[in-house]
Structure 1
Amino acid sequence: MFTYRRPNEISSTAGESFLADGPTNEVLDVYMIHQQPNPGIHYEYIIPGDNVISPQLLAHRRPGEPFNGQLGMPESTSREDEDLHRETDILTGQSAGTFPVIQPGRFPSHQPENQVPAMQPPRQNREYNWKQVGKTECTTTCGKGSQYPIFHCVNRITHEEVPEGYCDSSTKPIPEEEACNLFPCPAFWDIGEWSECSKTCGLGMQHRQILCRQIYANRTLTVQQYRCQHLEKPDTTSTCQLKICSEWQIRTEWTSCSVPCGVGQRTRDVKCVSNLGDVVDDEECNMKLRPNDIENCDMGPCAKSWFLTEWSDRCSAECGAGVRTRSVVCMTNHVSSLPLEGCGNNRPSETTPCNNGPCAGKVDWFAGGWTQCSTECGSGTQQREVICVRKTEGNFDVLNPYECSYLEKPPSQQSCYLKPCGSKWFHTEWSTCSKSCEGGFRVREVRCLSDDMAASTQCDPQLKPEEKELCNTQDCVPEIDENCKDKYYNCNVVVQARLCVYTYYKTACCASCTRVANRQPGFLGHR
């Protein structure tokens, strides 16, 4: 199992790293893909091996102890024990409680039976020898340190220390490194650095990695967390706030609409402001909460033309003089973003006279019945006949109105409203004819409008007034020019040769060229 650590999460590690406590039982291939210049890779590994024991110490064994084939180590003593308990004085001569000394590089060997051992050089009786008097201090207080034996020159008999010059320097034992304070150091929490705050403003979160670590053999190892349970575990998460978030402010009211009529736009000033009151970039505020700084505005229709309905079918009077009515409204006749002027003062008439013939009268002011409403819907007018009559036996004689002038005359007209019209067809006046003769056309715009003069789709399509019609269908009468005559008898040849495009032939054969030009428009323009 590998433990991966991100950059700067562990204070003792620079860059990315991963660690396995081991052992690794398979080949491990590590590939690194870098997008920036390669910073290099540092790696460490540990290979377990046998304890290395000093040959000088392993070469000594007590007389009578069996040799186990491991460099003279007693069978009852392991290499580790021998390495950790080397406290016997090492002397070159015989002494109580000491081993027989064999010189460095020389090892005892078993002689085959019936063979005489090789003769050793005679031992020199020296008065001074090297003696181990102690050890150096351990390099560490825990986690496996190292120390070395200390050898001094002493009197062979009294063991009193003397200057080193009294001893043979060539026989001084070489100090071998010894392990000490093998117990591991107490576990501790290795605290990584805090990550970046999760938010650039406002309250956010940040994290750090906490590992239980232990030092052994000058190496810092990651261990199980239960070994640090005696210590208070530092927090791995914390709140953070780099700064107070900025907010949106509406600095101005809406401007006036960009057009005096129709649909335009209006704007206002919206800024992102920090908590210090400074205007900052919009990205520092929440774009989802940004108030609108532009919107559409409708200033109503831009009027240009008078729109009319057809005249009503009914006359306001069943007999005598009456009126017919129509609706008139001023509206724009096309969609435009430009301001338009009004329809002007030439408002079309809303009434026109009508007469259904004379009516009978009666004595005094005689008011006839109200006629039906001039319109089937919407606002209209009703008429009635008011005459001055004199009643005779079985008949009424109509008198001059002057005869009844001393009496109050009843009203002869009133407004009426039967029902809402819903939607009706309106149209503009006809345009000028496109041609003065031989059939042109003229157009008008037709709209369906409701009672409130808003655009509607509820009008009967079959009743829609025509938007285009023919006009000036009479033939065109060409003007006769008395001076336009053919000067030659063979002008037909000029026409056939299409020479009328030239000024000379056009003048010499004026009548023929003109006649062909009227019959084939554009003829004179081709060669």
Structure 2
Amino acid sequence: MCPESSRNIREVQCASYNNKPFMGRFYEWEPFAEVKGSQKCELNCRAIGYRFYVRQAETVIDGTPCDPNGTAICVAGQCKSIGCDDYLGSDKVIDKCGICGGDNTACKVVSGVFKHTLTNLGYHKIVEIPEGATKINITEMSKSNNYLALRSRSGRSIINGNWAIDRPGRYEGGGTMFTYRRPNEISSTAGESFLADGPTNEVLDVYMIHQQPNPGIHYEYIIPGDNVISPQLLAHRRPGEPLNGQLGMPESTSHEDEDLHRETDILTGQSAGTFPVIQPGRFPSHQPENQVPAMQPPRQNREYNWKQVGKTECTTTCGKGSQYPIFHCVNRITHDEVPEGYCDSSTKPIPEEEACNLFPCPAFWDIGEWSECSKTCGLGMQHRQILCRQIYANRTLTVQQYRCQHLEKPDTTSTCQLKICSEWQIRTEWTSCSVPCGVGQRTRDVKCVSNLGDIVDDEECNMKLRPNDIENCDMGPCAKSWFLTEWSDRCSAECGDGIRTRSVVCMTNHVSSLPLEGCGNNRPSETTPCNNGPCAGKVEWFAGGWTQCSTECGSGTQQREVICVRKTEGNFDVLNPYECSYLEKPPSQQSCYLKPCGSKWFHTEWSTCSKSCEGGFRVREVRCLSDDMAASTQCDPQLKPEEKEPCNTQDCVPEIDENCKDKYYNCNVVVQARLCVYTYYKTACCASCSRVANRQPGFLGRR
């Protein structure tokens, strides 16, 4: 074992310079953590309480970690990685099968998606997890009102069994620990999930409690392949733990040509910024040997031994928890506590787990999720499962309901109404038959109307109850004849020559189109000329080009000019807008969005001033918001608007009422007698009484 100080060996190396002067002064040193790249294996130390650092040695002691949380170590000034086989410079890594240096062929990844359409509510088996499976991941592809469930082949429910929905957490089953997550714990759009490292020691079955259409369940696990040997994972060393069990300390290191790093404001007086590198030359006055003092434990003898001084707190307040004894090193005679170094660490008793608070926790009602409403509109019902549960030995058990009789039992059913149902309405009477004789059709307007009277999509109403909106009509037999419709109302040209059209059909005693000879050769014309007048002088709206967006980022607006013009021969005359009022006017403004702004400062309006004179202040609230108006911390603090400012700094001047005067010369007597509280004297000696009132805090003109 390495000494405890080896965990922070870089700190020990920097601290060895605490008693050595630098530039004529003594400092306390700590590792400088902001070095990167080739500097990782230099001994760069920062003066505690100062803004500069110094390269105390070109290389750290062999075996020093390159990074605080990494596994690579420094050897001869170079950062060397350690493979999973614990050999320095090895590039071997653990493959997905858990084998160091493996090629992923010793195991098999089984994955797929369960997409079957389910109809019946309740439990449906999805996938079977075999014995020996590892890296198990069962995840809903999107959120839903369904639930995942897990049980063993022995019939024991592990998660969400017996129509009871368990809370998210960790559950033991099949020889491994499963983590059950719900959608509200996951930032993505995925639904529920089971995760476990494995391996399992029995076959497990995954079910889905079906309540709504299946969104798809992705499953994946790893099983050993043929001729697989058990993975032999080497124990990982702590960062900085050496290969041979000890860290070597060099006897001495020359520092005469080392580079010194510190911030410029210490020696040059320039403004402080990052941590620049400077080379002031040689400093032989602080170049003693770089020898880290060895940590020598106190002498161990039989005067001291280990003594139990208490126990840790119980991990739970009920339902069976655990606690451990606490051992301290004490004087065998006086029983006074001494540092642990006085006792032999090899004889320290190993704390063994002890059960505590064995009594069961009070029973409670475990309330399941509400089912979907039985009706999509109108009054319906919904249900939920209520179970009496009790926690013991870190497991939640279902118990008899009489144990929860001291608690009010929650309702298991409830009425629900997602919305008021829409209904069919017949808005018009039947039209006349489509033909004057023979069999035709007639129609009427049928709409789906909400409870608010709005017309909504037909799907909002019960399609089975929809009244007919079209039916046949028989107008009696027809003779062979040409049947015509009315001419169309609109001319094909807005101005100048155009045509109007109509439909022409030859009909007999039933609706059918016959050859021309059936009604004769005198087929009526289907077109007729029309003219809406000359095109010159036409009045219309004319729209110009859009202006630039009003903002460089985020939502803004842009405008364009829209004018009423009359087209003449090769020219346009601008008219008063009312000349085009009968035409639909194009929009003169529209929204625009160039790019997201990122986080920006927003503020409210200023509050009213706290005082009307002699210097008050007013305030406003300032917030940093992102593009979606959510709170953010990405705004530039230097651009933050002021939240408080002074106001009304002018002197206070009492208001003088010309109608408030003393009617008597001796009003001072009224004031001295404190008669100003009476209406008569307050009016007769108005000026004197007002002056007395103004001497009190809050007189007129101040707030």
CA distance in 2, matches of 1:114, 1:378: 59
Q: Map of 1:351-362 to 2, 5 A cutoff?
A: none
The match for 1:503 is: 679
Q: Note the residue ranges of structure 2 that are not aligned, 5 or more in a row.
A: 1-176
The match for 2:582 is: 406
CA distance in 2, matches of 1:372, 1:65: 64
For the 8 Å contact 1:308–1:428, the answer to whether it is kept is no
Q: Map of 1:103-182 to 2, 5 A cutoff?
A: 126-182=302-358
Q: Map of 1:333-344 to 2, 5 A cutoff?
A: none
For the 8 Å contact 2:480–2:519, the answer to whether it is kept is yes
The Cα of 1:204 is off from its aligned counterpart by 1.4
For the 8 Å contact 2:506–2:514, the answer to whether it is kept is no
The Cα of 1:30 is off from its aligned counterpart by 7.2
Instruction: Give the secondary-structure state (helix, strand or coil) at the position aligned to 1:324.
Output: strand
In structure 2, the CA distance between the partners of 1:103 and 1:157, relative to structure 1 (3 Å rule), is farther
The Cα of 1:127 is off from its aligned counterpart by 3.1
For the 8 Å contact 1:90–1:132, the answer to whether it is kept is no
Instruction: Give the secondary-structure state (helix, strand or coil) at the position aligned to 1:486.
Output: coil
The Cα of 1:142 is off from its aligned counterpart by 0.8
The Cα of 1:290 is off from its aligned counterpart by 1.6
For the 8 Å contact 1:325–1:374, the answer to whether it is kept is no
The Cα of 1:280 is off from its aligned counterpart by 2.2
In structure 2, the CA distance between the partners of 1:335 and 1:503, relative to structure 1 (3 Å rule), is farther
CA distance in 2, matches of 1:161, 1:267: 102
Residue from 456, 477, 481 that aligns with 1:301: 477
For the 8 Å contact 1:143–1:181, the answer to whether it is kept is yes
The Cα of 1:360 is off from its aligned counterpart by 95
In structure 2, the CA distance between the partners of 1:391 and 1:30, relative to structure 1 (3 Å rule), is closer
For the 8 Å contact 2:694–2:700, the answer to whether it is kept is no
For the 8 Å contact 2:539–2:579, the answer to whether it is kept is no
CA distance in 2, matches of 1:447, 1:34: 45
For the 8 Å contact 1:324–1:354, the answer to whether it is kept is yes
The Cα of 1:410 is off from its aligned counterpart by 90
Further displaced range: 68-77 or 46-55: 68-77
Residue from 240, 252, 272 that aligns with 1:76: 252
For the 8 Å contact 2:482–2:507, the answer to whether it is kept is yes
For the 8 Å contact 1:388–1:404, the answer to whether it is kept is yes
The Cα of 1:207 is off from its aligned counterpart by 1.8
CA deviation vs aligned residue, 1:332-383 (integer Å, no higher than 9, x gap): 9999899999999999999999999999999999999999999999999999
Instruction: Give the secondary-structure state (helix, strand or coil) at the position aligned to 2:518.
Output: coil
Question: Size of the alignment, in residue pairs?
Answer: 527
CA distance in 2, matches of 1:375, 1:140: 59
CA deviation vs aligned residue, 1:48-81 (integer Å, no higher than 9, x gap): 9999999999999999999999999999999999
Task: Tell me, yes or no, if structure 1 residue 371 matches structure 2 residue 574.
Answer: no
CA distance in 2, matches of 1:387, 1:460: 45
Further displaced range: 413-422 or 19-28: 413-422
The Cα of 1:14 is off from its aligned counterpart by 11
The Cα of 1:147 is off from its aligned counterpart by 0.8
For the 8 Å contact 1:433–1:442, the answer to whether it is kept is yes
For the 8 Å contact 1:438–1:472, the answer to whether it is kept is yes
RMSD (Å), alpha carbons? 41.9
For the 8 Å contact 1:51–1:79, the answer to whether it is kept is no
For the 8 Å contact 1:263–1:337, the answer to whether it is kept is no
Further displaced range: 274-283 or 314-323: 314-323
For the 8 Å contact 1:378–1:417, the answer to whether it is kept is yes
Q: Which has the higher strand share?
A: 2
In structure 2, the CA distance between the partners of 1:131 and 1:91, relative to structure 1 (3 Å rule), is farther
In structure 2, the CA distance between the partners of 1:464 and 1:320, relative to structure 1 (3 Å rule), is farther
CA distance in 1, matches of 2:688, 2:630: 60
For the 8 Å contact 2:676–2:689, the answer to whether it is kept is yes
Further displaced range: 349-358 or 116-125: 349-358
Further displaced range: 4-13 or 185-194: 4-13
In structure 2, the CA distance between the partners of 1:357 and 1:98, relative to structure 1 (3 Å rule), is closer
Query: What TM-score does the superposition give when structure 2 sets the normalisation length?
Result: 0.28
Instruction: Give the secondary-structure state (helix, strand or coil) at the position aligned to 1:81.
Output: coil
The Cα of 1:296 is off from its aligned counterpart by 3.0
The Cα of 1:153 is off from its aligned counterpart by 2.6
CA distance in 2, matches of 1:96, 1:473: 39
CA distance in 2, matches of 1:91, 1:180: 63
In structure 2, the CA distance between the partners of 1:525 and 1:293, relative to structure 1 (3 Å rule), is farther
CA distance in 2, matches of 1:282, 1:337: 35
CA distance in 2, matches of 1:109, 1:413: 77
In structure 2, the CA distance between the partners of 1:245 and 1:156, relative to structure 1 (3 Å rule), is same
In structure 2, the CA distance between the partners of 1:215 and 1:44, relative to structure 1 (3 Å rule), is farther
In structure 2, the CA distance between the partners of 1:341 and 1:296, relative to structure 1 (3 Å rule), is farther
For the 8 Å contact 1:333–1:445, the answer to whether it is kept is no
CA distance in 1, matches of 2:301, 2:580: 183
Instruction: Give the secondary-structure state (helix, strand or coil) at the position aligned to 1:79.
Output: coil
The Cα of 1:198 is off from its aligned counterpart by 1.7
Bigger Rg, structure 1 or 2: 1
In structure 2, the CA distance between the partners of 1:112 and 1:2, relative to structure 1 (3 Å rule), is same
Further displaced range: 190-199 or 58-67: 58-67
CA distance in 2, matches of 1:94, 1:471: 39
Residue from 207, 214, 218 that aligns with 2:383: 207
The Cα of 1:239 is off from its aligned counterpart by 1.3
Further displaced range: 398-407 or 264-273: 398-407
For the 8 Å contact 1:316–1:382, the answer to whether it is kept is no
CA deviation vs aligned residue, 1:164-218 (integer Å, no higher than 9, x gap): 3443333222211111111221122221222222222111122222222222222
CA distance in 1, matches of 2:563, 2:276: 170
Further displaced range: 460-469 or 86-95: 460-469
CA deviation vs aligned residue, 1:398-443 (integer Å, no higher than 9, x gap): 9999999999999999999999999999999999999999999999
Q: Note the residue ranges of structure 1 that are not aligned, 5 or more in a row.
A: none
